[in-house]
Amino acid sequence: MDNVVVDNTNQGRFELVEQGETAWASYHVEGNTLFIDYVFSPPALRGQGTAGRLMSGVVAAADVKAQQIVPICGYAATWLRRQQR
């Protein structure tokens, strides 16, 4: 389903499908901390806000589990800082 962020636990990443392309954020969990290792958006989706929508879904999923988010990826760190998280 497009436009829904899905936690693909088998691959260790959150995924968002838009326009038939998949953006993803790889992660690992230690205790109650969600580490965002890398965020990727396919070239066809760049500049359209896809990665931001993906990150919004990641934050929502972490909030449900009351997880702290620690960004390893520079994009994730910048996005979270801009959202004051």
The pLDDT assigned to 1 comes to 56
User: How far is it, in rounded angstroms, from Cα 1 to Cα 43?
Assistant: 20
Token reading at 78: 């910048």
Domain count, the chain: 1
Residues in the chain: 85
CA 5 from chain centre, in angstroms, equals 8
Structural domain includes residue 37? yes
Give the containing element (helix H, strand E) for 78.
helix 74-82
- Residue 12 sits in which domain range? 6-82
User: How far is it, in rounded angstroms, from Cα 4 to Cα 60?
Assistant: 12
The pLDDT assigned to 3 comes to 81
Residue 84 pLDDT grade (very low, low, confident, very high; cuts 50, 70, 90) = confident
Structural domain includes residue 1? no
Per-residue pLDDT tens digits for 29-77 = 999 999 999 999 999 999 999 999 999 999 999 999 999 999 999 999 9
